[in-house]
A and B are shown apart, each in its own frame.
Chain A
């Protein structure tokens, strides 16, 4: 009985046995590599398809059990030849492959994944070209790496997948699926004093080139039918789903009434108002030629007083500053009027802002007041309690000056709000008279018809309305929201912060598709060190009073010096009396001393923080090794004692 067992064991534990084991393990690994996905440990499930994507897939028409369902086709073109596809893209190609596999798995019959291998001189290469993929030049030939999403007649193309940041890939693919499936796009109308849709320079003035459209505007055009409206609106057209007022000039009463009636009729409104527009200032300073006629340009500030007050709010003309939200600027300084917002200041429970953790508002204003009855308020972005306000002139001066004069308000200021509910009218007295409107008695043709067609004046909302209020307009300016970079010869836009996602989310909420919101918000959840900033703030807070006191002393000494210099009479043009000389020296010393002390205080505060960081480092590196050494020595001593006792 034992000999066959011995024989088989001898076989197993031999070189041949070893080879068999290797073969089995290689096969198992090969099979395992084909299994897409994995266990996603991350809190935000960044490696798993989100609920929003699942809902979008569910919305693809057709029953899953239906045999003749029209599927959404994902044509994945990637040149698999490892000699051609650059090494750094090979893992990416695999990852994207298994990522797309997840769509096909969840979609069942509704989604079909077709993999193509467009190697040179193959049919697949022809179909890649026809599909609109961009050929990329690699070191050893041309390769393709793109995706085509199609449904019936509609199709969308991502010509080069690596150009899409990894964390937004799911959003891009799901958005494309949602777009090819949906038949009509929501209509978004924008009113703005900025040239958001781009403009042509004046060739006579040497500005022949075209200014490109703002990135956010181009992005809107991908998802919506976008229209720009002039600010002399008489009536907001009925087919507009979302109206965006971005830093508008002064509206006429008729235009305000049109906006009011639009909201009451269930229209969705987004308002970006600004106490100080950097964009407007920048475009003014660019008009270097004084002979050049002013093109009108954007106003320095904007407001929507009448409508806001009807909802219970006023928009502050002062600029909000916050010690906890300071933004580093040139020269190692930090400006408290440029607000760098982290997740603590962005509403994490709201779909428009959940998981956004990095925004920048520039010279923003606050919304004061409480909502009128019937309106619900959701604060989307707020400051910390270490906030204050400053006037426009001061805000543009040195940040140090703002810091010195800083007085904490102790309240969280509201920077962005979402209002929902039944809105009251801002025109309880009825429609304002329009001086420009043609008088009916003139008896022009069509006037009577127009009068008949005029909708009834609404005095309160006839349904649930949504209004989003944002206290800044510069945040979606390309200069502050994105940066363009060159990637494999292509210009791609990369987000500087999450300002653009915030704007996109808000638009999507208003346009009614919140599924995409949940997907995008997953992207790039940065988790910054909050403690170091807090500690810095605490340290600054402690020395602030002393700094102000010293500053006053310094100024007093300066003033006294000026007085003394002025007291010299004409006969002593250059020579001072010993008393005067002494007094001047005394104040110069006092001034120098005050400045020295200020520097010392700042140095001490920095030193304290650095020392804390050093202790953190030392504690981490040395604490447990020391403990282990002590335990080891203790055990060894005990053992020696035991053995010597024997």
Chain B
């Protein structure tokens, strides 16, 4: 069977798993509630009086995905490990990476559904003013990339453990670190240690830093390459861990 067909069948099975259980619905509902709630309550969407989503709406997405990404992705491999089905899956005539990609894509679809269902805010901003749709598109693309990166991180961590709770906690912690390493107080601290080079490296490796340009309507090659690198590395690492477990 060609690889893409294998990916597709794993993808379908996983997607069914998400939408046949309350997980996808609960994620989507919580995501929308928080994304919108933050925009209106913390972001001051109305009070700003500006037909713009970058500051009031998209600004909070890294913090949301930091928790909700792992919540969606935690079952990717932990569940299989617990039930022992991961061994079974890998004895099938499909390569591990097709299963990894299939599972990852299915989780991405759940996340995408959450993002798409925030469309009322786009309608609202159009109703209230004259927004720049280019910037909105770039914001959604950036937001999706950051969400997909959190899922990839969760994928590799879920491959290590049988417990979804452990996976959730560790993944949130890692995503939190990756989001946070770009913030000025931390960078300042690292610099105080006399590690200026490391400080710059950390800044460039942060989710938040690489999301800042897309949020404002500019997708740089480095932002795109950064997120794709994180995803590629994490999916590859997942495959290394699974192979090691099987061995």
A positions within 8 Å CB-CB of B = 13-15, 17-18, 21-22, 25, 28-29, 32-33, 35, 37-44, 46-47, 81-83, 87-88, 90-91, 343, 526-532, 613, 616-617, 619-625, 627-629, 631-632, 635-636, 639
Contacts and interface: CB of A to CB of B under 8 A. Distances in A.
B32 interface: yes
Interface stretch (B75-83, B84-92, B166-174, B217-225): B217-225
Given A14-B240, A81-B196, A624-B117, A532 B132 contact: no
Given A42-B135, A87-B188, A527-B130, A617 B29 contact: no
Nearest to B224: A32
Interface string B206-233: 0001000100111111111110010011
A620 B124 contact: yes
A35 B233 contact: no
B197 A82 contact: yes
B243 A13 contact: yes
Nearest to B225: A32
Q: Which of A17, A41, A44, A87 has the most CB of B within 10 A?
A: A41
A21 B236 contact: yes
Contacts of A527: 50-52, 129-132
Nearest to A613: B46
B200 A22 contact: no
A41 B219 contact: yes
Contacts of A18: 236-237, 240
B239 interface: yes
A438 to B, nearest CB: 62
Nearest to A629: B29
B196 A621 contact: no
Contact of B218 (A39, A617, A623): A39
A635 B24 CA distance: 12
Interface stretch (B33-41, B60-68, B101-109, B145-153): B33-41
A528 B243 CA distance: 55
A629 B25 contact: yes
B2 interface: no
Contacts of A25: 229, 232-233
9 contacts: A14-B240, A25-B232, A29-B226, A32-B221, A39-B218, A83-B191, A87-B191, A624-B120, A628-B29
Contacts of B131: 527
A572 B135 CA distance: 78
A635 B124 CA distance: 29
Contacts of A37: 220
Given A25-B229, A25-B233, A88 B184 contact: yes
A41 B138 contact: yes
B233 A22 contact: yes
Interface centre among B39, B119, B220 (most CB of A within 10 A): B220
B22 A632 contact: yes
B186 to A, nearest CB: 10
Nearest to B199: A82
Given A38-B218, A90-B200, 12 more contacts: A17-B240, A32-B222, A39-B219, A43-B132, A43-B133, A44-B132, A47-B216, A87-B188, A91-B209, A624-B118, A628-B32, A639-B20
A625 B224 CA distance: 31
A14 B236 CA distance: 10
A415 B203 CA distance: 50
B33 A621 contact: yes
A610 to B, nearest CB: 10
A532 B184 contact: no
Interface residues of chain B: helix, strand, loop or mixed (majority): helix
A621 B137 CA distance: 21
B218 A35 contact: no
A32 B129 CA distance: 36
A625 B28 CA distance: 7
A515 B138 CA distance: 29
Contacts of A32: 221-222, 224-226
A41 B29 CA distance: 29
A531 B49 CA distance: 10
B19 A635 contact: yes
B121 interface: yes
Given A38-B218, A41-B217, A47-B218, A33 B204 contact: yes
Nearest to A83: B196
B239 A13 contact: yes
Nearest to B237: A18
A621 B40 contact: yes
A48 to B, nearest CB: 9
A620 B204 CA distance: 34
A34 B229 CA distance: 16
A13 B246 CA distance: 12
Contacts of B188: 87
B93 interface: no
A339 B21 CA distance: 57
A46 B138 CA distance: 13
List 7 A-B pairs, minimum CB-CB distance, nearest first: A38-B220, A632-B25, A82-B196, A41-B138, A32-B225, A41-B134, A42-B217
A29 B132 CA distance: 30
A530 B50 CA distance: 9
A631 to B, nearest CB: 8
Contact of A528 (B39, B50, B117): B50
A32 B225 CA distance: 7
A294 to B, nearest CB: 44
B118 to A, nearest CB: 7
Interface in B1-33: 19-20, 22, 25, 28-29, 32-33
A47 B197 CA distance: 28
Interface string B43-64: 0001001111000000000000
Contacts of A33: 204, 222
Nearest to A623: B120
A532 B240 contact: no
A82 B119 CA distance: 41
B157 interface: no
Contacts of A624: 32, 117-120
B74 to A, nearest CB: 19
B72 interface: no
Given A531-B127, A620-B40, A29 B225 contact: yes
Contacts of A42: 132, 134-135, 138, 217-218
Contacts of B221: 32, 35, 38
A192 B221 CA distance: 52
A25 B225 CA distance: 9
A416 to B, nearest CB: 22
B187 interface: yes
A627 B239 CA distance: 37
Contacts of B196: 81-83
A532 B128 contact: yes
A21 B222 CA distance: 18
A43 B134 contact: yes
Contacts of A623: 120
Contacts of B236: 18, 21
Nearest to A627: B117
Given A83-B191, A528-B50, A29 B229 contact: yes
